[in-house]
Amino acid sequence: MKEKMKSKFEELFGDYGDIRVYFAPGRVNLIGEHTDYNGGHVFPCALTMGTYAVARKRNDNKLRLYSMNFEKLGILESSIEDLKYKKEEKWINYPKSMIWALKSEEYNVDKGFDILYYGNIPNGAGLSSSASIEVLTGFVLKDLFNLDIDMVKLALLGQKAENQYVGVNCGIMDQFIIANGKKDCAIFLDTANLEFEYAPVKLKNEKIVIMNTNKKRGLGDSKYNERRAECEKALEELQQELNIKTLGELSEEEFEKNKHLIKDKNRKKRAKHAVYENQRTIKAVKALQENKIDLLGKLMIESHNSLRDDYEVTGKELDTLVEESLKQDGVVGARMTGAGFGGCAVSIVKNDKVEKFIENVGKAYKEKIGYNADFYVVEIGDGPRII
């Protein structure tokens, strides 16, 4: 793939100067969904699938960007002086958002560049293709311009780009795991203070299988921002009597004792999910450390049920995948992953049952939904790198 991309780059942009090839992963979150903007814990891992880039610095201010995933759009041009968000520019708003974020904090990106991108993360699947492009672009610029920036800061700038430029009020999880991923480990991250530890994911007899609904969803126009606003309002109501900064500070018992302060029924359900999901995540990491894979699976199932009933972000497609998964032999646990409203679910399946699992769940999904789901048996990989 590397040679094919370099060849395409030279065909498009010319064969001269120093060109480099880079990679940043996609991610899947094992548990801890919609907790990252509620001051809770998350437990994601980086994938070996992700986004590649070939890049070269220019001597002028011009930006020339090309994606092998959107070849019909051709080379899209802009400049480092014209970084305004333009809806019609589609995917290049993600790289532009990262240039904007770096420049907004006085990082010296003083010349243009040519970049060719290629991603093998299914677009719109909820495996963080947008955050992967953002972090990858930041990593490329860190290298091209010798920027003094660590990977935690790079993740924070990716979040700033998504929040303030793209307009999606996301938490820190996606950019953080993509920037800081480590092979065969998930990151146990406290989003309230960004303290984290690497937790080895030792699945000796099981595989992680990601199931793509193939129902596309756009985060910006989903109910994502609405859910966040509901949680913020619930927090305000609780703060009238409780000295807390986030919902993630509450135990289940404290929430039950004080939930009467939340006046709206739906807001109460949203806050309950945020509190209980945070505690499930803490328990899940402990279960993994103690090699209690069955307990991890049970917590994943509880997580999905809460996302379906209390947070209401699943939908028919995701629910069908999870329901059909749990009917199969050798399934330890399954749940939706990502923002919801389409995208993917994740399951842990015994090695010798994976083939039959994919066949059976795929058949049942097609019968009930009317089109195919896609399945990926994934491995946990490292964060961004030069290749």
Q: What is the pLDDT of residues 270-296, one digit of tens each?
A: 999 999 999 999 999 999 999 999 999
Burial class (CB in 10 A: 0-12, 13-18, 19+), 195: exposed
Instruction: Please give the residue that has the higher pLDDT: either 16 or 222.
Output: 16
For residue 103, the surrounding DSSP H or E stretch is: helix 93-104
CATH number for the region 2-200 comes to 3.30.230.10
Q: What is the pLDDT of residues 180-209, one digit of tens each?
A: 999 999 999 999 999 999 999 988 899 999
Q: Which residues are catalytic?
A: 174
Kindly report the CA angle at 112 between 55 and 16, in degrees rounded to 5? 50
219 has a pLDDT exceeding 80: no
Query: Are 162 and 168 within 8 A, CB to CB?
Result: yes
Q: What is the pLDDT of residues 11-41, one digit of tens each?
A: 999 988 889 999 999 999 999 999 999 999 9
- Cα distance between residue 48 and residue 70, in whole Å: 22
Percent of the chain with pLDDT over 70: 97
* Confidence at residue 252, expressed as pLDDT on a 0 to 100 scale: 98
Could you list the beta-strand ranges (E) of the chain: 20-29, 41-42, 44-57, 62-67, 76-79, 113-119, 185-190, 195-200, 206-212, 331-337, 344-350, 374-378, 385-386
121 has a pLDDT exceeding 50: yes
* Confidence at residue 220, expressed as pLDDT on a 0 to 100 scale: 44
Q: What is the pLDDT of residues 301-331, one digit of tens each?
A: 999 999 999 999 999 999 999 999 999 999 9
Using 50, 70 and 90 to split pLDDT, how confident is the model at 122?
confident
Q: What is the pLDDT of residues 78-113, one digit of tens each?
A: 999 989 888 777 789 999 999 999 999 999 999 999
* Confidence at residue 17, expressed as pLDDT on a 0 to 100 scale: 84
Residues 6+ apart with CB under 8 A from 329: 350, 353, 356, 357
Q: What type of residue is 119?
A: G
Q: What type of residue is 90?
A: K
Query: Are 353 and 360 within 8 A, CB to CB?
Result: no
* Confidence at residue 225, expressed as pLDDT on a 0 to 100 scale: 85
Packed helices 129-144 and 173-180: angle between N→C axes, nearest 10 degrees? 50
Q: What is the pLDDT of residues 43-75, one digit of tens each?
A: 999 999 999 999 999 999 999 999 999 999 999
Query: Are 283 and 299 within 8 A, CB to CB?
Result: yes
Percent of the chain with pLDDT over 90: 86
- Cα distance between residue 104 and residue 89, in whole Å: 21
Kindly report the pTM of this predicted structure. Answer: 0.90
Q: What is the pLDDT of residues 135-157, one digit of tens each?
A: 999 999 999 999 999 999 999 99
Domain boundaries, the chain: 2-200
